[in-house]
Structure 1
Amino acid sequence: MRVLRLGTKGTDVMEIQALLRKIGYDPGPIDGIFGPQTQQAVMQFQRDNGLTPDGIIGPNTYRVLEPLLLGYATYEIRPGDTMYNLARRYYSSVLKIVTANPTVNPYNLQIGQQILIPYGIDVVDTNIDYTYEIMERDIQGLKARYPFLEVGIAGKSVLGKNLYYIRLGNGPNQVFYNGAHHALEWITSPLLMKFIENFAKAYMEERNIRGYDVRDIWDQSSIYIMPMVNPDGVDLVLNGLQRGNPFYEDLIRWNRGSLDFSEVWQANIRGVDLNHNYDALWQLSKEAEPLYGVYGPGPTRYSGPYPESEPESRAVADFTRRRNFRLVLAYHSQGEVIYWNFQNLAPPVARTIGELFSRVSGYTLDEAYGIASYAGYKDWFIQEYRRPGYTIEVGSGRNPLPIEQFDQIYNDNEELLLLAAVV
C-alpha cells in the first residue's frame, strides 16, 4: 500500500475513511480526499494505538489498520484466556470466534494456540468506490470469518487478476450470479459481495432473511457468485490509467485521446465489450457496430475479433459449461429493468419466474432489442441451455451510478437474490 498523507487522493483513501468511521472516528466526508479532518482522525487513531501521531499512514500505521480492513485478528492463546473474555476484548462474539475456528475446542484452549478473532464490524463496505483490491481483501476476510464458504478462481483477466467465485450452499440446485461485465457498472460487485456477507452471517446465526430459511436454501441449492467479471476495466474506471499498463498508448488512442476513463469505459482492458463477446448471434452484433460508430477497440460495444476472444468471457463461459446451472443472473446497471428472453428461446417458465422477480424487486420485466439483444452472457446461456437467464439492470440515472444509490439497490435486490436460488 502506498503512503497516505494530507493531500493524497484515491480509492485507497476512501477505504481508510470508511474504516475510520466504522470503528468510531470521524474522517469527514468519505470522498477519497485526505483532508485535514481525515488527518485528525488518523492522528487520534494513532494515539489510541500507541503509534506516532503524525497523521500519515505509513507501514507502521498500516500494519495496525490491516487486520481491521480484513475484519479479523490473529491471536495467540495466553494463560487465562477464554472465548468469552476474548469476545469482549475484541468487540466480537463467542459464536463468531467459534465459527471462524472450526477445529478449535472452545472448552479446551491451548496456550500458544493461534486462532482467528473476527471483529464486531462487517467486512464489506458499501459506501466506497469498490476496486478489485478491495474486493480481494473482502473475500479473504469473509473466508476467514466463514470458513464454510467455498472460494475459487474461475480464470484470470487480461492483466492477470483473479476472477474469483464464491459458493454459498451445497445443494443440488445450482444457480449462478455474476456482476461487473461492464467497467462503469462496478456497483454490482459490492451488491453481490454484501449479499454473500449477509447470507453467510444469517447461516451462522441460524436466522431467516426476509422470511427465507437460509439453512434450507443452503441444503437445497448451490449459489455460485462471480462478483467482478471485468476487474481490469473496473480498476481503469476507478483508479485511472497507470503508466505501467501494457496497453497505455493503445488505451489513450481507443479512448479518442482522452486520459479520462471514469465516465465512458465499459470494456475490458483490450477495448472489448465483454457482454458482446459471447457466441449468441455474435455476427449480428459485429455487423451492427458501425451503426454505433464502432470500428475497433474502444469504450463500448466492440464485440472483439471472435466470440470468447477475451479471457474473461471465456472463463465465464467455461465456468458455466463445467456446471449444471438451472438459472443465471447477470447483474448490470442501470434502468431498474429485468431482461428475460433471447430470440424466443427461453422456456415458458422463464417469464413466470421473471414476473416473480419483477414483483419482489419493483423492476420492469422486458425484452431487449437491437444491438443490446446480441452476444450477451444471458443470451448465450438461454441459447445454449434453454433455461432461465436474466440480465438485471439495477439503479437509475447515468453510469457510473453514485454509491449513494447502493442502499436502495440492495433493498430492491436482496429478495430477488434469495428467490432465484429456490424458485
Structure 2
Amino acid sequence: MEVRVREGDSFSYYGRLFMVPLELITDSNEKVNPTSLKSGTKIVIPGYVSVPYTIKEDDTLWKIGNENNLQIDAVMILNQMKDPNRLIPGEILYLPERIAKQNVSSKLPFGSGILVKQIKTLKKFYPFINVETIGTSVLGNPIQEIRIGKGLKKVHMNASFHANEWITTMVLMTLMNQYLISLTNRTAYRGINTINLYNETELSIVPMVNPDGVDLVLNGPPTSRRDEVVNINEGSNEFVHWKANIRGVDLNNQFPANWEIEQERKEPKSPAPRDYPGKSSLSEPEAITMADLMKKNNYDRILAFHTQGEEFYWGYEGFEPPESEVLAKEFERVSGYKAIRNVDSHAGFKDWYIQEFKRPGFTLELGRGINPLPLSHFNDILQKVEGIFLAALYL
C-alpha cells in the first residue's frame, strides 16, 4: 500500500500510525532518505492493502475509523485528505487494511509458474524482502532466492531438490508467509518475537531447486522433451515417482562429497527417474546454482527440506561442528522428529555443505507415507516443522 509524504511526516510516525515496525518501513523504502522526506514522495507501507469503501449518508471519518479499527489520520493520509469533515455520500474512500491471512495457497499443488507469481505477490505486499534469480534450470526456468532480515547470522533453507517432493515447496513458502505476517502484524509466532529474529538474522530461501522436475511431476512433460523423458521413464507417461531433474539426474546426488562412491554403487548408470548421480559431480545447472550460492554467501547453517520419515540427518563424516548437535537436540525437541547423525549416503547437498564449510547442515525428512505425500498431510507437516523453522533462526 502506498501513501504520499506530507509536511512533518516521518517513517517513525508511519510506524506508529499503521503499527508496523519501523525497520520494515525503512527496508521497504530503501531508495528514500528517511531523514529528508519530501512532500509528495510515495512511501510503501508493508503488510497493508487499500480497499474501497462507499461513503454512506450518515458517515463521518470518526465513525468509519471506529468501525474499522483505524486511526483517522491513517485514512486521511491514504486518501490525501486535508479536511476530515469533507465526506460526500456515494463517493469512494480507500481504507487501509492489514494483511492477516497468508497469500500462499496450500489448497492445490503448484509448479514453477505459479511459484513465480506467488513470490511476485509477496514482494508487492512485503517489499522489505529481496528477491533474486540466482540461476536457471535446464529448461530455463528461474531458480529464485528470497532474503528476509538484516542480521549478521545467515540461515539458508531450500525445498524441492526432488521433483515429487513438491509439497516441501508449499511448506517452506507457507512458513515464510506466516513469518512475514507475524513481522508486519507485530504478533508472536509460536511465542517468538519475530522482529528480533529479523534484526538478528538474514534468512535465505530457495523454495524450488528443481522447477523442471516439479513441473514434470505435476503437469507432464513439455513437448520439446516428451520423447526423451518418456524413454528415461521406461516408456511410462506416469511421472508421479520422478525425483530427478528433466535430464534424469538426481540433484541430491550431484555434490562433490564422495560423489565417486555414489556413482559406483548407484544402480542406474544412465539417466533415470531417480538416483542417477550424473556423469560427473555438479554437471547440472540446478546443482551448480546451489553450490555457487553457498560459495558466495557466508551461511552459518543450512536446512534442506525433503520428505519421508519425520526425521532429520545432521552429520557427515565427522565434519559437522559441535554446534550441530546443539541445534539437532532443539530441532528434535520442538518437532518430535528423530535426530539421526549419520546415514550411509554421500554426494548430497547437506553432505557437501558440511564437508566444505564445516558448519551445521540438515536434511529434513518431512511427513510419513508414500511419495508424493498427499495434501491431506500438509497441516500436520506444517505444524511439526514450524518449530524447526523458528529454532533455526533463534538459536
Q: Same fold (TM over 0.5)?
A: yes
One-letter code aligned to 1:352: V
Aligned mate of 1:155, from 123, 126, 135: 135
Aligned mate of 1:331, from 286, 289, 305: 305
SS in 1 for 2:245: coil
| Superposed CA offset, 1:220-278 (max 9, x none) | 00010111100110010011123x2x32211111100111101x200000101000001
- Retained in 1: the 8 A contact 2:243–2:273? yes
Aligned 1:203-214 pairs, distance under 5 A: 203-214=183-194
SS in 1 for 2:300: strand
Change in 2 beyond 3 A, CA 1:119/1:219: closer
When structure 1 is superposed on structure 2, of 265-274 and 156-165 the one drifting more is: 156-165
How far apart in 2 are the matches of 1:83 and 1:382? 59
* Partner of residue 267, structure 1: 244
How far apart in 1 are the matches of 2:331 and 2:124? 32
SS in 2 for 1:390: strand
SS in 2 for 1:304: coil
Following TM superposition, where does structure 1 have runs of at least 4 consecutive aligned residues deviating by more than 6 angstroms?
A: 71-89, 92-95, 114-120
Larger radius of gyration: 2
Aligned mate of 2:260, from 254, 271, 283: 283
* Partner of residue 394, structure 2: 422
One-letter code aligned to 1:347: P
Aligned mate of 2:217, from 216, 237, 241: 237
Aligned mate of 2:372, from 380, 383, 400: 400
How far apart in 2 are the matches of 1:196 and 1:320? 20
How far apart in 2 are the matches of 1:306 and 1:105? 60
Change in 2 beyond 3 A, CA 1:133/1:88: farther
How far apart in 2 are the matches of 1:181 and 1:94? 44
Structure 1 unaligned runs (5+)? Answer: 1-70, 99-103
Change in 2 beyond 3 A, CA 1:93/1:406: farther
- Return the offset for 1:168: 1.5
* Partner of residue 302, structure 1: 276
Aligned 1:6-17 pairs, distance under 5 A: none
How far apart in 1 are the matches of 2:376 and 2:195? 31
* Partner of residue 40, structure 1: none
* Partner of residue 247, structure 1: 225
- Retained in 2: the 8 A contact 1:93–1:120? no
State the TM-score, normalized to the length of structure 2.
0.77
- Return the offset for 1:132: 1.5
- Retained in 1: the 8 A contact 2:102–2:178? no
- Return the offset for 1:328: 0.3
How far apart in 2 are the matches of 1:275 and 1:82? 61
Change in 2 beyond 3 A, CA 1:200/1:396: same
How far apart in 2 are the matches of 1:391 and 1:249? 33
One-letter code aligned to 1:205: N
How far apart in 1 are the matches of 2:115 and 2:64? 28
Change in 2 beyond 3 A, CA 1:353/1:286: same
Q: Is structure 2 residue 366 aligned with structure 1 residue 389?
A: no
- Return the offset for 1:348: 1.8
How far apart in 2 are the matches of 1:120 and 1:285? 47
Change in 2 beyond 3 A, CA 1:254/1:88: farther
Q: Is structure 2 residue 144 aligned with structure 1 residue 167?
A: no
Identity %: 35
Change in 2 beyond 3 A, CA 1:298/1:72: farther
One-letter code aligned to 2:136: K
How far apart in 2 are the matches of 1:229 and 1:303? 16
State the TM-score, normalized to the length of structure 1.
0.72
How far apart in 1 are the matches of 2:63 and 2:256? 57
How far apart in 1 are the matches of 2:270 and 2:284? 14
Q: Is structure 2 residue 172 aligned with structure 1 residue 192?
A: yes
- Retained in 2: the 8 A contact 1:83–1:94? no
- Retained in 2: the 8 A contact 1:153–1:162? yes
Alignment coverage as a number of residue pairs: 336
- Retained in 1: the 8 A contact 2:313–2:343? no
SS in 2 for 1:420: helix
Q: Is structure 2 residue 125 aligned with structure 1 residue 145?
A: yes
- Retained in 2: the 8 A contact 1:118–1:145? no
Q: Is structure 2 residue 158 aligned with structure 1 residue 178?
A: yes
| Superposed CA offset, 1:277-310 (max 9, x none) | 0111111110112xx3x12001111111111111
